[in-house]
Structure 1
Amino acid sequence: MSAPAPAADPKAPASQTGKAGIVGKDGAPMVLVIAGEFTMGDRVFGPVHKVYLDAFYMDQYEVRTSLYAMFLKMNKREKPYNWQFVDMQADGDRPVIGVDWYDAEAYCRWAGKRLPTEAEWEKAARWTDGRTYPWGNGRLDKTKASYNWDGKRRWEGYRILSVAGSYETGKSPYGIYDLAGNVWEWVADWYDRDAYKNSPTRNPQGPSAGEFKVFRGGSALSHPADITAALRNRGSPTGRAITIGFRCAQSVPKPSPTPVRPAR
């Protein structure tokens, strides 16, 4: 029997409880990504194609270490790689790392959510105009994302990761942070290099099976070319790395049909 999900955090920002967002069961703010069409893929990770997605909610921030600690406390799961070096006081608002795909999927399910599909992740990052980065097509600089901007970054512990919400000018038009850099993010899809060639144009779910799972967005150790919003990466679903974390998504409930009353 799985442990119950936590109640919503009463201290969650009020601005996220309005029309444009909700607070998830784990207390994390989620942002509404409206239904509609967007451009997916680019000339390298293509082909470029149009995709229609139903509305969904996406975590505004990558899942934080403090939230994952709460999940571990309520569930008997293996601790993330490098967990012994976490200082919860100093690192609680930094993204959790060292989790495999199954860990990420289990957390999202526990929180009443799910991992985003690859298409959902890309729409959240690229908006509807096929932009290169979440903030647009402008010049890439270190004020917009946490990445290896000078080619000299090395792993120096959790302090190399940014606290949630650090890059205000790097958020997407939906108001979602760190979709470029900081940590790679697991998504739901199995990886297939040619997936876009035969992908449905409406709510694609990715291949039904595969060897690797997709992760997106780049990390604090990624070079500039590796944090574009269309770039695809993959790894073993059982692999744990210091550069990979995740965020969750949630479907928008469809309204129940209005019952038709018989005429009198």
Structure 2
Amino acid sequence: MAHRSIRLSILLIMLASGVLAAETPVAKNGTGSETVRGKDGAPMILIPAGPFLMGSNDGLPNERPEHTVTLPAYYIDQFEVTAGRYQKFIESANRNIPPTWDDEAAQAMGDLPAVGMSWNDAAAYCKWAGKRLPTEAEWEKAARGTDGRRYPWGHMQPFVDIANYNRGMWVSEAVTLVPVNSGLEGMSVRHGLKEGGKSPYGLFHMAGNAAEWVADWYDREFYQKSPAANPTGPASGEKRVIRGGSWADLPNALRVTARFSAEPDYEDRTIGFRCAMDAGK
């Protein structure tokens, strides 16, 4: 009986400490962050609530001033939306393909990032998948973490083993782009990238490959009046924000604080997207 009581006491202590926590549908991404899958099957990473440093006093005028922003917890896609997933959206929602696509290209692209869609189409995809585009602040925190780094991987300048950038002119999807999961084991030998520009939370290609649409309207002076809690950008505008830099950009455009913009109906081979979702959904 004494031994049984001791074993029972140990079991209760383990349960209380979480050692024998019940299994949930949430998985781990290798960085300790939790992941779920959206309705499109794409893995999403939980970004915990709390403050982070946004903007840069050393960047362009539209990145100033550096300021602290606090966000609630949210999920964001670990990878850029792939051409394969975007093709399913086109077929299911009866949408037009991006103007640079044809059926053969879409099938061949597979796990390469979907590029060439407008902001309107990117937002429609996220809604179709039960998600939304990330806000500019959500994107930057997911890319940067909380330590004020310059690039997703730290302060070191980009190099060819870590990011897909400065490729010059467009050649083809298969040559110019790299798979969204190119930093995972088994992909580095085929495609040259060892980390895929991985962020502190384990997101891939937050710098280079495809630049990414985010939810906010663009205002070059918005940081001077941005709220400190969960900013969502101006109420209206003429252009939407683009983040992350692309396969065509130089290192300066790959910085996590770099801000670009275009009209919502703009379509270009350098631009793709990823989706976000409120925590608790």
TM-score by length of 2: 0.81
Return the match for 2:172 from 115, 137, 157.
157
Q: Match of 1:232, as an amino acid? A: R
Deviations 1:100-146 (A, max 9, x none): 00100000001000000000000001100111000001232111110
Counting only pairs closer than 5 Å after superposition, residues 99-110 of structure 1 correspond to structure 2 as: 99-110=117-128
Distance 1:69 1:42, change over 3 A: same
- 1:81 paired residue number: 99
**Could you tell me which residue of structure 2 aligns to residue 33 of structure 1?**
47
Pairing of 1:7-46 with structure 2 (within 5 A): 15-16=28-29, 20-43=34-57, 44=59, 45-46=63-64
Counterpart in 1 of 2:66?
48
Contact 2:157–2:251, Cα closer than 8 Å, also in 1? no
Quote the Cα distance in structure 2 between the aligned partners of 1:224 and 1:23: 32
The worse-fitting range, judged by mean Cα deviation, of 29-38 and 159-168 is 159-168
What's the counterpart of residue 262 of structure 1? none
Please give the secondary structure, in 1, of the residue aligned with 2:52.
strand
| Contact 2:78-2:204 within 8 A present in 1 as well | yes
Q: Supply the distance in 2 between the matched residues of 1:46 and 1:142 (Cα, whole angstroms).
A: 29
- Structure 2 contact 47–201 (Cα < 8 Å) conserved: yes
Determine the structure 2 residue equivalent to 1:208. Answer: 235
2:132 to 84, 89, 114: 114
Per the alignment, residue 250 of structure 1 pairs with 277
**How big is the shift at 1:205?**
0.5
1:257 match: none
Corresponding residue of 2:144: 126
Runs of 4+ in 1 over 4 A off after TM superposition: 13-19
Q: Is the 8 A contact 1:184 1:219 kept in 2?
A: yes
CA contact (8 A) 1:183 1:218 kept: yes
Alignment-derived partner of residue 176 in structure 1: 203
The alpha-carbon distance between structure 1 residues 39 and 164, as it changes in their structure 2 partners (threshold 3 A), is same
Aligned residues of 2:213 and 2:271 also touching (Cα < 8 A) = yes
Q: Which moved more, 1:50-59 or 1:85-94?
A: 85-94
User: Letter of the aligned partner of 2:53 in structure 1?
Assistant: T
Distance 2:280 2:99 in 1: 35
Decide which structure has the larger Cα Rg and report it. Answer: 2
The share of aligned pairs that are identical, in percent, is 49
Which whole-Å deviations, capped at 9, do the CAs of 1:138-196 have from their partners, x for residues lacking one? 23211111000xxx621001021110121343200100000000011000000000000
2-side partners of 1:139 and 1:73: how far apart? Answer: 40
Query: Whose helix proportion is higher, 1 or 2?
Result: 2
- The number of aligned residues is 240
Shift of 1:76: 2.0
Ranges in structure 1 where 5+ consecutive residues have no aligned partner: 1-12, 255-264
Give secondary structure in 2 for the equivalent of 1:109. helix
| Distance apart, 1:85 and its partner CA | 6.6
Alpha-carbon distance in 1 for matches of 2:245, 2:70 = 25
CA distance in 2, matches of 1:238, 1:99: 8
Q: Secondary structure at the match of 1:119?
A: helix
Secondary structure of the corresponding residue to residue 90 of structure 1:
helix
Deviations 1:21-54 (A, max 9, x none): 1011100000111111000000221100000000
User: Is the counterpart of residue 143 in structure 1 residue 161 in structure 2?
Assistant: yes
Task: Flag structure 2 segments of 5+ consecutive residues without an equivalent.
Answer: 1-25, 184-193
DSSP 3-state at the match of 1:87: helix
Amino acid at match of 1:144: I
Provide the C-alpha distance between the structure 2 equivalents of 1:239 and 1:141, rounded to a whole number of angstroms: 29
In structure 2, what residue type is equivalent to 1:154? M
Which amino acid counterpart does residue 242 of structure 2 have in structure 1?
F
